[in-house]
Chain A
């Protein structure tokens, strides 16, 4: 347990750079501003708010913040050649991967939730399942994205570029255009949760209820296992 906590602390210490904190603060401010002006002033503020959370929040902001923070968890060590100080110690690879994912989640969850909640609260549309739908969708999708991007951070040399391509090409465009592809979109499970909570018809929101819980958790577990395998097999600089 002490190894887990040591790695957890290390990841958080090095993940929260000033630039990343400023980015999250800007996102919170921008979402609050949009909620208070554009969403509050819409013809149907409730639907506008939920659509905004689904498309801009779950579809764009959440994966981008998860990418920035998740890929840095171990990716920064990989890039600046400090991974050796953890890798060479007699610690289980699963412990390293799980601690890194847990630490990344500790940062990405508030980093994703606060802007979403800021938009919902500022728009004044907190009832009819909006708040609970936003929170549950954000938590589940953040879990899956963060684990995937922690894995990406130690798998490719340019995780940010590859991650952004994945987010924009796959999650944002391809999955919205093809029904089969949508099943492989993490975002669709969040949209489904949000749609069920608010009883609105949202794009990609046609997953089974059980899948909205099982798939994001499953994705996170598989990503953690793959990260462990990657740590075991990788060459460390």
Chain B
């Protein structure tokens, strides 16, 4: 065994008794100029970022390089150039760094002949947890796995196996969690429950990196994203803030009000909208000056004695931001 045993309590406190959250600026995962090439194919190209506590979603279209990047972040794959630090250490060479990592891999491979309990306990023993049995029970409770957990994993549904993988990732109370498509195979109730668990972990100061291609799910994880496109880092941060910075992509709004034609004409004349589509009580407009539109729309409506019912952005959601970034 390398290094010293973990000093944090075992998983009984998954997301409950952990150390107080570090300052938001404290980076737990750092990538510096990371590239990965497979022969002539460059899967990840000169990517640099840092990730602090809380949930960060790793986004990218299929083949963008996010799985490769996630594997590099965990230390499973060596970068061709650049370096990765997790909790201050290189996960490929530092046992202390690996002790801080919990991973839910995407692949289905699992020790099919092991029971759920012994699979999770294996992770506790190999991580040198002080009380492997207690930690195992706590991890199984955290993912709401009960019932016939002493049966072989091969006999279980995909959802049960997925929760066993999540429990194994949590069992040693890691500071950094990498979750690759963690909701695969789970039913809606289990998904909601796991999302709540990940939120709790993030709020307790864990760094949670979630890779998913289902944008609806990602949006439920939070707003902090790291977008990979064609092997490069396309954007990082709150996706709404990212959207606000996209000056080359006019924002679209739906405005429901009275006197739509007059109001629309005034918005164009006042350069608050660059294009409008007018229906009986709805204006759909594009604007390159959203703050001014938001500030003056009410005045414009008041001027024409038009009641304003609604002003809703149409492309500030994650899907729109993602589409613009990877287009």
Contact = CB atoms under 8 A, between A and B. Distances in A.
B128 interface: yes
A38 to B, nearest CB: 39
B92 to A, nearest CB: 8
A91 B2 CA distance: 6
Interface string B138-175: 00000000000000000000000000000010000000
A183 to B, nearest CB: 36
B107 A89 contact: no
A85 B76 contact: no
A90 interface: yes
Interface stretch (A2-10, A29-37, A188-196): A2-10
B77 A235 contact: yes
B246 interface: no
Interface in B27-78: 71, 74-78
A14 B111 contact: yes
B99 A90 contact: yes
B167 to A, nearest CB: 12
B96 A90 contact: yes
A88 interface: yes
B103 to A, nearest CB: 6
Interface stretch (A76-84, A103-111, A128-136): A76-84
Interface in A172-222: none
B3 interface: yes
Contacts of B101: 88
A13 B152 CA distance: 12
B107 A81 contact: yes
B113 A6 contact: no
Give the secondary structure class of A's interface: helix
B325 interface: no
A85 B172 CA distance: 13
Contact of A13 (B98, B107, B113, B123): B113
B176 to A, nearest CB: 12
A84 B126 contact: no
A49 to B, nearest CB: 38
Contacts of A7: 126
A112 B172 CA distance: 40
B314 interface: no
B315 interface: no
B125 A2 contact: yes
B78 A235 contact: yes
Given A3-B128, A84-B103, A236-B77, A89 B114 contact: no
| Interface size class, chain A | 20 to 34
B1 interface: yes
Given A89-B123, A90-B95, A95 B1 contact: yes
A87 interface: yes
B112 to A, nearest CB: 8
B77 A3 contact: no
Given A13-B113, A82-B109, A89 B76 contact: no
Contact of B105 (A10, A14, A84, A232): A84
Contacts of B95: 90-92
A6 B107 contact: no
Given A6-B122, A95-B1, A90 B113 contact: no
B110 interface: yes
B153 to A, nearest CB: 10
A233 to B, nearest CB: 8
A10 B112 CA distance: 11
A237 interface: yes
Nearest to A96: B126
29 contacts: A2-B125, A2-B128, A3-B1, A6-B125, A10-B111, A10-B122, A13-B113, A14-B113, A82-B109, A84-B76, A85-B110, A85-B111, A87-B76, A88-B76, A88-B103, A89-B123, A89-B127, A90-B1, A90-B3, A90-B95, A90-B98, A90-B127, A90-B128, A91-B1, A91-B2, A232-B92, A232-B93, A235-B71, A235-B77
Interface of B: 1-3, 71, 74-78, 92-93, 95-96, 98-99, 101, 103, 105, 107, 109-111, 113-114, 119, 122-123, 125-128, 168
